[in-house]
Structure 1
Amino acid sequence: MLGFHQRFVGATTFPKNLTDVDVGLCFRLSADEVKKLKERYKENALGPAVLLVFLRASGRPLESLNVVPSILLKYLCAELQINERSIATLRSIYRRPATLTDHKQWVLANLANLAAPQEKDLEELKDALRALSTTAVSVEDLVKRAELWLVEHRLLIPIERVIRSIANAAFEAVVATAIELVRSKVPPAQLSAAIKNVFSSRKGRTGGTILDWLKEQPGKHGLKSLSEAGKKIDHLKTLGVHEWQIDAIGAERIKAFARAVVHRPPSATRALAEDTQALELACFLRATLLEFTDDAFYTAGRQLNRMIGHGRNRVQTKRAQSAAEYAQREIRVRELIHASDTTDQQKVQALQEMYPLDQATANLSGSALVREHLAGERFALGAVLSAFSNVEIEGPEGNKALAQVKALRELQEMGAKELPAEFDSSITDPAWRELIDGLDRARALGALQASAALAIHQGLRGGSLWVDHSWKHKNREEFLIPMDVWERDRKQLIGGLGLYSEPKLYLKGVRHNCEVGLQALSEAVAAGKVEINENGEISLPRLSPQDIDMSVSRTRDAIFKIIGPQKFENIVIEIDAKTKFSECLLGRKATSVRELIALYGAVFAMGTENDVAGVAAIIPKVELSHIASAMRILENSERVRLANSRVLAFQAEHPIAALWGKGDKGSSDMMALDASNRLFNARVDPRRHTFAVGIYTHILNNYGIFYDQPIVLNTRQAAVAVHGAHWYNKNQPEDKRLAWLAVDTHGYTNVAMATAKLSGFDLCPQLSRLSERKLMLLHGMKIPENLERLKVKYVTEKSIVEGWDQAMRVVASLQIGRVTPRQLLERLGSHAAASPVFKALDGLGRLLRTVFLCDYFTNESFRREIHTVLNRGESVHQLQRAIYSGRVAPKRGRREDEMTAISGCHALLTNVVIAWNTHKMQEVVNRFAKEKHPIEEDWLAHMGPVHYAGINFRGTMEFPVEAYVDELLERVSRRKAVLA
């Protein structure tokens, strides 16, 4: 069930207002239902029709006829072909309770297709809620999930007391199970000592408790942060946290219990009941250890990259110096050779002195000079290695990185300042052996440190090494279908998931597609549509601008002039009234005006550059503490994503949105938000040369943002690109899934392209330096004669076939949800190039890229569509920058949950503006059509809903809640809403 359809589920009365879209989506009658109603009740069919459409939309019988929206009555009367009735007339139908009861029973038995839940159904609901409660944050979440589960299974929703008791029992059962797990897996004495420790005062000038210290998130990503992370890891390990096997609680629940500790003062945690306190603190300590382990590895990796960057800068300097020295020596040699006052013997002797026989030839390769530079960075390398020495890194037997770490630990225990002459350099990569075996033994030790640090970093990134107490660097086998299960159920899994067991059969189809693409490219070259230059590069003509009538821009301006200016807060509350996204964020309807406005304030504090104090200053009558409390709710990413989905679905259901796109194609790209250099994930934006954090958004071709996630700048974006599209397709019915996703060069890798294809959609990259891209073909494929000048590389079928089975195991693990695309593809980067899975997916991706490039070169409409979708994404980014015009404050976004909330709320506010513009444009279009002045659909297709010139994003915000009390607040609080 789509998010937009869910807002009526569980309701007991109609909202005060409905729109045409609401009626069209959620309260329609089929022709068969109209026929049965008219046959049964004739002129009195309106009452049963109202009962039917409400029962089907909400899952509950209608409790009151006092409010039945006039727009719904008008629609039903038209469908039933009876005279339009007023609400008073409808109430008069049911003056006799027996009549109402009779109509309800008949509707339920003959038309509603809903059955009362039996004992067996309630038992299944209990089982479902037990499974769902592992990720639920509160009982309210479970209550809503229970209502949705019942409606999806065609069951009536019982009274709230029954559902809430089941939800309470499921939630308490999970908590009780978690408490029992902590008690059984954590030694009681160790747990008591840890609890006592975290509440103890911390020594030093900073003061506070150990718990306060552990809550502090890293600031800058320098050596100081690395050292601080190391101290916290060491402290937690002294408490034995790394040995606590409580991961069976579930990652989401562990994080939820940990957040509860983070968000309350230590004194409040100390006052908890003993069992609750033990559970939450155990989860907090475990989650903190895993987070700081990941932070330490991340910071260590950044330090290594920084040193490599400095080394590359010095390469240029050293090469320039070497070139100058070479030029001077050449002058001296020339002068010596042509000197007339020296004999030949003297010249030879002088040349021998200039070029001694035992002088080593300088290695001026870039990699060699960088390695030489790293060998001299002893202090920084020691700090990096300290991050790795704090944890137990594991790997396969005989791993060279682990052998190097062991050797360094032995040398450290010996207090060695130099590398012993007899050191066995075979445990290092050959590239480092020249430095390690060199005469300078101090530099040799530095080379060993650099070799070990890089090997560990690459091993952790590629998955060949792992750490037990880490979120991101666990053993990759834990993310995949167990090998014994895969060997036993391979055929069933491959068949059920639509995968391919025979690689050669699949490659036969890919080969055919490549041949068809090459033939189309050959015909395009012959027709002069595509050119191949003398360097074997393809040259494409620029896409000609589309011939758009000037009347389109004038009409668009006229539409938005009619819509008129509006304040941002009015837009937010109006869309909330239509979509109930605040109900998604809270897990229920707001109980007071104060709570609702505080929630809006929290969304603004997260989704714009304003902080809590700034938002409290511009919203009258709301306290800072209320906003801060509501901000904690927004760290539940599932609720924010559900709110976004509901707004997105509302926008997409307008007829005008279908003119922009069917929602079966999308694009994704990153937008940089300015940030302080003290933010842990901040990096320098290469375009603007300022510190920034990345927000990666996925945008449908009808402009809505369907997925968002925070990322680090200057990192490959292919993993997050595939992740968002895979999530969307997984949560959509088959007819609404993405067919392809357009990305830029950063959002593409060969492995990602193959993974996307095997997951059911195509990755369509707009590649930079397109003319230099080579076509990748299987050995033995014939190229048409007029394409022989092309730059071509070949892929071996053997590398794909050998890794195919394990590649299918990886993709099957992805399909059933054991691993996410982001987790998978981040482990299948260049660091995993030696893996058979990487080789198989990389080879397949190269072939798929050839098929794509042939289509891209020869199909102008396809190329134009990709450009159009990417340009729409850029226009959405402009709106996002208007909403978030400042920078992320230094104290925000340090925790992953907080950064995710910033990204989600920013996307939510952007979707709200897009949905409001779409809704208002639809109203204007409908009005023009009624006035016999319809706007051409071709014109509307070239108008986007990202207009924001008339929206006031700044200034004092006064939310007109009184106009939307019935839609947004709980019924019990409506009477006091104005006074609250």
Structure 2
Amino acid sequence: MPVSFLSNEQRESYGRYTGAPSPDDLARYFHLDDSDHALIAQKRGAHNRLGFAVQLGTLRYLGTFLEDPLAVPAPVLHTLAKQLRIKTFDDAKAYSTCEQRWQHATEIQTHYGYVEITERQIGFHLTRWLYALCWTGTDRPTVLFERAVTWLVTHKVLLPGSSTLERYIARLRSRVEERLWHALGRGISSEQQVRLESLLLVPVGSRSSPLDQLRKGPVMVSSRSLVVALMRLHSVRELGIRLPAAARIPATRVAALARFAGAAKVSAILRLPNPRRLATLVAFVHCLEASAQDDGLEVLEVLLRELFGDAIKADKKSRLRTLKDLDQAAATLASACQMLLDTSLPDGDLRTRLFEKIPRNALTLALEGVNALIRPADDVYYQELDAKYKTVRCFLPALVEHIRFGTNVAGQPVVAAFDWLRSNIARKKPGNDAPREVIRKPWQRHVLREDGNVDFHAYTFCVLNELHIALRRRDVFVSPSWRYADPRAGLLDGMEWEATRPIICRTLGLSAQPEPTLSALANELDRTYRAVAARLPDNPAVRFDQVGDKQELVLSPLDKLDEPASLIALRERVAGMLPRVDLPELILEVAARTGFTDAFTHLSERTARATDLPISLCAVLMAEACNTGPEPLIRGDIPALKRDRLSWVDQNYVRDDTLTAANAILVAAQSRLALANLWGGGEVASADGIRFVVPVRTVHAGPNPKYFGIGRGVTWYNLISDQFSGLNDITVPGTLRDSLILLAVVLEQQTDLQPTQIMTDTGAYSDVVFGLFRLLGYRFSPRLADVGGTRFWRIDPQANYGLLNTISAHNLSLKKIVPHWDDMLRLVGSLKLGLVPATGIMRTLQVGDRPTRLAQAIAEFGRIDKTLHTLTYIDDEAKRRGTLTQLNRGEGRHSVARAVFHGKRGELRQHYREGQEDQLGALGLVLNMIVLWNSIYMEAALDQLRADGYTVKDEDVARLSPLLHEHINMLGRYSFSVPDAVANGELRPLRDPADEE
């Protein structure tokens, strides 16, 4: 553990003013009350009174005395002099060298109760507080240092020397880490320790260690791949690693060690001290069980989806082949039916005449042919499935042996049937006691034989089909797991919920009882209906068309908004002034301006840094974002760009948590720009996805011919603010329904911006989403592509809403909401506090063929908000145009993303989920850098235009966009250097458009 972890800048700013205090800080720390004035009044001379006040304010603000007491920012002197009614303080400089200042410092320390850190009680309380922080979190030493300084200032403790506090924190972290290592190693037998250590040894004749093999998850979708994945899970379980429950080790600490073991080279782990090496392996195996189980279930999900999907395709092909035979048989039966319907034929001669025209054998064959070829409406394609039973037989024994499912009430029949398969799969004659609740009507004719027994093959496919549905809805789950755990496990309950309910209700603006909130919503809906109906005759965008016996509302599309000549000219002029720049220089410049590289910490939670580390980090981020790999960036003559350095940085610094922290810094920098605030205040955000083909073998990609052709791909789902900055992103295989991931991408974003109005395209539309967003305090505002097909709901069936009466025939029932109100509050409270996964909850609430009562209640609540949104959407052109504008910003950002992600034909070539997320996270980070850099220089260009007398209209500026990239070079071999002036904080010279002509 290195003792020195502060940078030179941090060490120099410790206990010093780094700039003028803010107005709030001046009011808080430098305000003199009556007792202060009384004490200061005892000093003789204006310079002594001012110096005493400055030392007092400095101590309160910094926690220490300055060597030169008057070396403070001018606002501090002016604030204190004004309170002391000292008009001039030119002669106050003498105070800095007089002996009186030392006496004043001692007097201030004694009178105001400031103590030294060496006092026993102070050291005890500080140590206990910092120890708890270290034990429960993974904060960097610099963060702990800053928090310790804040604690000392708050508790009136004089700051010690920076090196003293540095060594103190380093020793404390070492103690915590040693405790963690010993806690993880406690209870590990010598036999288990030998097994763990053997994971690091490379067997003779092999090129990789068992640890390397365990770290590799499945990349193919096949029955063989599923068996291998399940055997990997079995190998992990055989190690028998269980964390000691009594130790109460924080999950974040275990996960941090596991991340290191999952990414570091085996040789690096071997070099660790024995206790730490053992603890690292224990943490890795403990976390790997959940990951391995998830990988196995992910292969199972895709395999079952392909199995049942291929059966549907095979049935369609078979139907096409037999269509001619079906037509012939149907034609024969049609002729027979025509004779039966002929009333002119006497009933007695009907059979004779029929067989004369159509022989009995021909009629029998036609009937048999039709019966053989027709399919019921709820066909399960069993014949095609049964042909694939060998595939199922390959993986089913391993599946039932190694996977144990938990369940809620809805999934109990599935788990009972799965457990029966486990008990009977090895028998030659399975028992006749198979649970039959799982056999739904479409399967009964295949599973149930005439003698009452079950067909084992058909029963197996029936159970797998129901398991696939239940797993997708999370009615069944496993433990431990990251992605397939019980999404309800973290819900607030019992006394915890009783204590939290009032806080949740106040935070979300909801009532503990349903009546007040529902009554207010009912009134809002009624008022909105009446207001929109009153304005409807004057709304040229809305008309009613007669479709059959119904009237349908038609909303005219928005006319293109004309761009004034001033806007076109301003856009061209600003774009022409932006400096031409290589992407590496842009990234380095943004790093220098924002310090976002400080968010990237070493994987092992140590303070490992290296010379010119920001350059290496920027190179790795660019290699990932541009999809080129590191090859174009490698320079053998520059240590920061050597191959081994870039590989080391990529493995140890770039990961989900560091990317998220760095992104928060960039978003905050963008939001501080005056230009960005003209575009929006951060209250609005939109969500949309961009698709990437994944041409490599992986289970973390899905098919969709529309987007991926004959291959597979992923969707990168983004949340974008009205300031053009990306707030959060989620990578999902294939093209998962937007409504399943929308809530997660909003709730899990970790920036300073907190948007409350969320805009999406029609894909994220569902009643449940409307309900949850309204309960959580958001306004869900999707673009409505087909208003005519939208249902308008009402609460009062007798209310007269004029022209809207014809389209608002659907009645809401508040009785469906009232009994479940407390459960709805408990759910949104748990989501708000991050106790349950949003994606998992959305899976359980999607209203399908068997929705839960809670899902029905949330959907009913959502219909109120959906109707409110639809009414205001058709009534307010500004709202429709604002939604379209924000969605266009998302599309524009995706266009820039395509331009940046140009390498390897724009295809994502990562086998594993973590690699996909990290690479696309780096892409999002670079996009935010481009937006920030463009915004900074656009602001400078606008300032220069105003200074030159050019007319710049605010309404034109509000329609500019920083999503430009023509002036940025992203191709070729790159040089990571910036001009000295830019490195010192200056801007590059703007281009003169005249020079470009």
Q: Secondary structure at the match of 2:707?
A: coil
The 3 A distance-change label for structure 1 pair 266 and 847 is same
CA contact (8 A) 1:620 1:957 kept: no
CA distance in 2, matches of 1:811, 1:147: 37
Q: CA separation in 1, counterparts of 2:962 and 2:50?
A: 38
Structure 2 partner of 1:85: none
Q: Secondary structure at the match of 2:715?
A: strand
The reply to whether residue 563 of structure 1 matches residue 578 of structure 2 is: yes
Q: State the partner residue of 1:974.
A: none
Distance 1:243 1:796, change over 3 A: farther
Change over 3 Å in CA distance of 1:609–1:772 after alignment to 2: same
Distance 1:242 1:527, change over 3 A: farther
Report the TM-score, using the length of structure 2 for normalisation. Answer: 0.81
Corresponding residue of 1:257 = 257
State the AA in 2 paired with 1:413: A
Please report how far the alpha carbon of residue 573 of structure 1 lies from its aligned counterpart in structure 2 after TM superposition.
2.1
What SS class does the counterpart of residue 303 from structure 1 fall into?
helix
Q: Find the counterpart in structure 1 of residue 989 from structure 2.
A: none
The aligned amino acid for 1:475 is D
Q: 1:722 to 1:930 in 2, by over 3 A?
A: same
Check if 1:694 corresponds to 2:705: no
* CA distance 1:193–1:835, shift in 2 (3 Å): farther
Tell me which residue corresponds to 1:958. 976
1:602-652: per-residue Cα shift (whole Å, max 9, x none)? Answer: 222333312233432599442111112212343443332222222222222
- C-alpha deviation, 1:447, in angstroms: 2.7
Find out whether 1:412 has 2:425 as its counterpart: yes
Q: CA 1:492–1:950 in 2, change beyond 3 Å: closer, same or farther?
A: closer
Could you say which residue in structure 2 is the equivalent of 1:901? 918
Within 5 A, what are the aligned runs for 1:156-305? 159-161=161-163, 163-165=165-167, 167-168=169-170, 171-172=173-174, 174-184=176-186, 186-189=187-190, 191-201=192-202, 207-241=207-241, 248-305=248-305
The structure 1 residue matched to 2:745, chosen from 697, 719, 724, is 724
Show the counterpart of 1:973. Answer: none
Q: 1:647 to 1:98 in 2, by over 3 A?
A: farther
Alpha-carbon deviations, 1:220-247, whole Å to 9, x = none? 3444432321120111122224798699
Match of 1:639 among 649, 658, 663: 658
Change (3 A) 1:891 1:482: same
Question: Which of the numbers 564, 579, 602 marks the counterpart of 2:620?
Answer: 602
Query: Which residue identity does 1:542 align to in structure 2?
Result: P
Aligned match of 2:389: 378
Aligned to 2:356: 346
Q: Give 1:674-753 correspondences, 5 Å limit.
A: 674-684=693-703, 686-689=706-709, 691-728=712-749, 732=752, 737-753=754-770
Q: Does 1:883 align with 2:884?
A: no
Provide closer, same or farther for how the CA distance between residues 793 and 362 of structure 1 changes in structure 2, counting only shifts above 3 A.
farther
In structure 2, relative to structure 1, the CA distance for the partners of 1:7 and 1:269 (3 Å cut) is closer
Q: CA-to-partner distance for each residue in 1:322-351, whole Å, 9 max, x for gaps?
A: 654443234335667899998444347637
Once the two structures are TM-superposed, the CA of residue 400 in structure 1 deviates from its matched residue by 1.0
Deviation larger for 787-796 or 233-242: 787-796
State the one-letter code of the partner of 1:687: Y
Q: AA paired with 2:214?
A: L
Matched, 1:518 2:529: yes
Q: 1:669 Cα shift?
A: 1.5
> For 2:575 and 2:636, how far apart are their aligned partners in 1?
27
Kindly report which structure 2 residues correspond to 1:394-473, keeping only aligned pairs within 5 A, or say none: 394-395=406-407, 399-415=412-428, 425-438=436-449, 444-473=455-484
* 1:915, distance to aligned residue in structure 2 (A): 1.1
What SS does the aligned partner of 1:720 have? helix
1:146 shift after superposition: 4.7
Contact 1:608 1:885 in 2 (8 A): yes
Question: Which stretch shifts more, 756-765 or 923-932?
Answer: 923-932
Runs of at least 5 residues in structure 1 that lack an aligned partner in the other structure: 1-5, 82-88, 969-980
Identify unmatched segments of 5+ residues in structure 2. 1-5, 83-89, 340-344, 346-350, 987-997
> Contact between 1:374 and 1:446, CA under 8 Å: does it hold in 2?
no
Question: What SS does structure 1 have at the residue aligned with 2:628?
Answer: coil
For the residues of structure 2 that align with 1:700 and 1:421, how far apart are their CA atoms? 60
Q: Is the partner of 1:687 in helix, strand or coil?
A: helix
1:530-679 alignment, distance < 5 Å: 530-535=542-547, 536-586=551-601, 593-617=611-635, 620-621=638-639, 622-679=641-698
CA separation of 1:48/1:704 partners in 2, compared to 1, >3 Å: closer, same or farther? farther
Match of 1:921 among 921, 934, 938: 938
Whole-angstrom CA distance in 2 between matches of 1:505 and 1:726: 26
The CA distance in 1 between the partners of 2:858 and 2:852, in whole Å, is 10
Question: Contact 1:581 / 1:646 at 8 angstroms: preserved in 2?
Answer: yes
Residue 946 of structure 1 is matched in structure 2 by 963
Aligned length: 941
Q: Which deviates more from structure 2 when the two are superposed, residues 477-486 or residues 943-952?
A: 477-486
Q: 1: CA distance between counterparts of 2:953 and 2:702?
A: 47
- Taking a change above 3 Å as real, the CA distance of residues 540 and 497 of structure 1, as seen in their structure-2 partners, is closer
Q: Measured at CA, do residues 492 and 777 of structure 1 come closer, stay the same or move farther in structure 2, by a change above 3 Å?
A: same
Residues 573/408 of structure 1: CA separation in 2 closer, same or farther (3 Å cut): same
Q: Distance in 2 between matches of 1:302 and 1:518?
A: 46
Deviates more, 1:784-793 or 1:850-859: 784-793
Please say which of residues 882-891 and 751-760 is displaced more in the overlay.
882-891
Separation in 1, partners of 2:910, 2:95: 57
Provide the rounded CA distance (Å) in 1 between the counterparts of 2:155 and 2:745. Answer: 28
Check the 8 A contact 2:488/2:841 in 1, yes or no. Answer: no
Letter aligned with residue 553 of structure 1: I
Post-superposition offset of 1:872:
1.0
Paired position in structure 2 for 1:527: 538
**What is the RMSD computed on CA atoms of the aligned residues?**
5.0
% of aligned pairs identical?
18
Q: How many angstroms does 1:251 deviate by? A: 3.6
TM-aligned CA distance change 1:326 to 1:91, over 3 Å: farther
Change (3 A) 1:25 1:771: farther
1:446 positional shift = 3.2
Structure 2 SS opposite 1:12: helix
Which residue does the alignment assign to 2:780? 763
CA deviation string 1:723-754 (max 9, x = no partner): 333344x764xxx6322111123334332332
Q: Distance in 1 between matches of 2:321 and 2:29?
A: 87
Compute the TM-score of the two structures, normalised by the length of structure 1. 0.82
**Gap change, CA 1:484 and 1:423, over 3 Å in 2:** same
- Given that residues 241 and 289 in structure 1 are in contact (C-alpha distance below 8 angstroms), is that contact kept between their aligned partners in structure 2? no
TM-aligned CA deviation for residue 940 of structure 1: 0.8
